[in-house]
């Protein structure tokens, strides 16, 4: 259940922030280069936040929970890549997946450590 809540949190943060970026892009507030950087930052924030949430709600070994969450996201993404014929696996996709696991792990480690200090 905690993985479902964390995944829903991840997707809701992602959708809300992407909606804001789309509005900025629509009104030409930022250039395309800045929009791409903001999208990357949104992805980083999303995975750190969801990792933090799952780490805060776990009892021990937050890094394991972060790795599990990252693997859940990778599984969902891989299924979508297989189902959508316009996308392919590439080196950048593999690097993206590794960064996803690292960010979820860092977030969950910080979340469980903050929980322990309170």
- For 31-45, the three-class secondary structure string (H helix, E strand, C coil) is CHHHHHHHHHHHHHH
pLDDT of res. 63: 83
pLDDT of res. 118: 63
pLDDT of res. 50: 86
**Residues in the chain with pLDDT values less than 70:** 87, 115-118
Q: Which domain holds residue 44?
A: 2-117
Query: How many domains, the chain?
Result: 1
């Amino acid at each position: 259940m905690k993985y479902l809540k964390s995944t829903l949190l991840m997707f809701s943060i992602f959708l809300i922030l992407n909606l804001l970026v789309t509005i900025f892009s629509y009104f030409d507030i930022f250039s395309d280069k800045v929009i791409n950087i903001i999208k990357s930052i949104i992805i980083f924030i999303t995975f750190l936040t969801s990792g933090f949430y799952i780490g805060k709600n776990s009892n021990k070994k937050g890094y394991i929970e972060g790795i599990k969450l990252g693997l859940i996201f990778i599984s969902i993404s891989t299924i979508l890549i297989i189902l959508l014929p316009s996308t392919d696996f590439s080196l950048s996709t593999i690097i993206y997946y590794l960064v996803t696991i690292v960010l979820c792990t860092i977030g969950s480690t910080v979340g469980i450590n903050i929980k322990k200090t309170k």
